[in-house]
């Protein structure tokens, strides 16, 4: 049995959709021999409205919910670490130590479940070195392999600013280096032809900085890229967990193997488009 630990801040509808989709695929038998043993969140009830909605969803499936607010854990140490990091331009030792101490508290709370896979799905904290070495952890990153780092918002702005030809997302192994773990699966989508062509023209007319400052996330190109990525992220995660549960994908000593061979990432473009097409006709 694949015992899955699910890490999420539960901050928006996308986080809920990811969790619900996996639960339904497990329930239907599409993902076999698997169970979400617990959900961990770095937020607590009452902190944010969206997270509270997520917590109710988790409870509706009868899954154990573990909440431990990072905001309430040694706030002065965290504040100092963030300030030092801002000055230095790189993560300070104070912040690294705060992260280790917070992660040790997480370990105490989840060790009884003995998860053999932890999924980060909308988890808004960086995982420290000790925690990612303890368990096999995978993360959904909203860019293709080798693409921009950061949040999905930062990624999309980077794609637009650099006139990228493709967007996408990657499921990768979590390591000490942020968003740089070995890719497991990924998809790409072209963003230069119709219906993107006219949207790019508007960026060229106005200029990137003006669009960024005045329109922000209301920009039509920004919204289009996000919408196309978001609807493919769910099948990407479903298929990845399914392959791990079936033993087609194995993770050993920080390396990823597909059907017994080391891989630099499995492209799931065709499988994802097929899943979306099937969904359209259902």
CA–CA separation, 235 and 233 (whole Å)? 6
Q: What is the mean pLDDT of residues 91-118?
A: 94
> Phi, psi (5° rounding) for residue 14?
-65, -40
Give the mean model confidence (pLDDT) for residues 173-184: 84
Q: Which whole number is the average pLDDT over 2-11?
A: 95
Give me the pLDDT at residue 177, please: 74
- Residues 59 and 83 sit within 8 Å (Cβ to Cβ): no
Q: Both tokens of residue 76?
A: 């002065």
pLDDT in tens, 202-252: 999 999 999 999 999 999 999 999 999 999 999 999 999 999 999 999 998
Residue 26 has a pLDDT of: 95
Pairing of strands 261-262, 255-258: antiparallel
Mean pLDDT computed over every residue of the chain: 92
Domains present along the chain, CATH in parentheses: 1-135 (3.40.50.170), 145-169+176-282 (no CATH)
Question: Residues with Cβ < 8 Å from 239, sequence gap 6 or more?
Answer: 185, 268, 271, 272, 275
pLDDT tens digit sequence for 258-280: 988 999 899 999 999 998 887 77
36-62 residue pLDDT tens: 999 999 999 999 999 999 999 999 999
Indicate the pLDDT class of residue 175, thresholds 50, 70 and 90. Answer: confident
Confidence of residue 282 (pLDDT cuts 50, 70, 90): low
Q: How confident is the model at residue 149 (pLDDT cuts 50, 70, 90)?
A: confident
């Amino acid at each position: 049995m694949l015992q899955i630990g699910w890490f999420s801040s539960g901050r928006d509808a996308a986080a809920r959709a990811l969790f619900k989709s996996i639960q339904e695929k497990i329930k239907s038998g599409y993902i076999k021999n698997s169970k979400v043993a617990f959900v961990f969140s770095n937020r607590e009830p009452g902190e944010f409205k969206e997270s509270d909605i997520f917590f109710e969803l988790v409870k509706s499936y009868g899954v154990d919910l573990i909440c431990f607010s990072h905001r309430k854990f040694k706030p002065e140490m965290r504040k100092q670490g963030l300030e030092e990091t801002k000055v230095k331009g790189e993560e300070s030792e104070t912040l690294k130590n705060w992260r280790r101490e917070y992660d040790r508290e997480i370990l105490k709370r989840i060790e009884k479940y003995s998860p053999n896979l932890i999924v980060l799905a909308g988890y808004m904290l960086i995982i420290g070195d000790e925690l990612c070495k303890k368990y096999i952890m995978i993360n959904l990153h909203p860019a293709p392999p080798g693409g921009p780092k950061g949040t999905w918002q930062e990624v999309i702005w980077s794609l637009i600013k650099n006139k990228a030809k493709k967007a996408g997302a990657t499921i990768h192994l979590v390591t000490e280096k942020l968003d740089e773990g070995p890719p497991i699966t990924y998809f790409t989508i072209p963003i230069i032809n119709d219906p993107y062509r006219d949207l790019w023209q508007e960026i060229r007319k106005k200029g990137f900085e003006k669009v960024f400052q005045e329109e922000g996330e209301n920009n039509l190109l920004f919204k289009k890229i996000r919408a196309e990525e978001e609807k493919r992220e769910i099948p990407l995660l479903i298929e990845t967990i399914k392959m791990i549960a079936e033993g087609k994908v194995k993770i050993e000593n920080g390396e990823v193997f597909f059907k017994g061979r080391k891989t630099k990432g499995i492209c799931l473009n065709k499988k994802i488009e097929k899943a979306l097409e099937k969904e359209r006709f259902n």
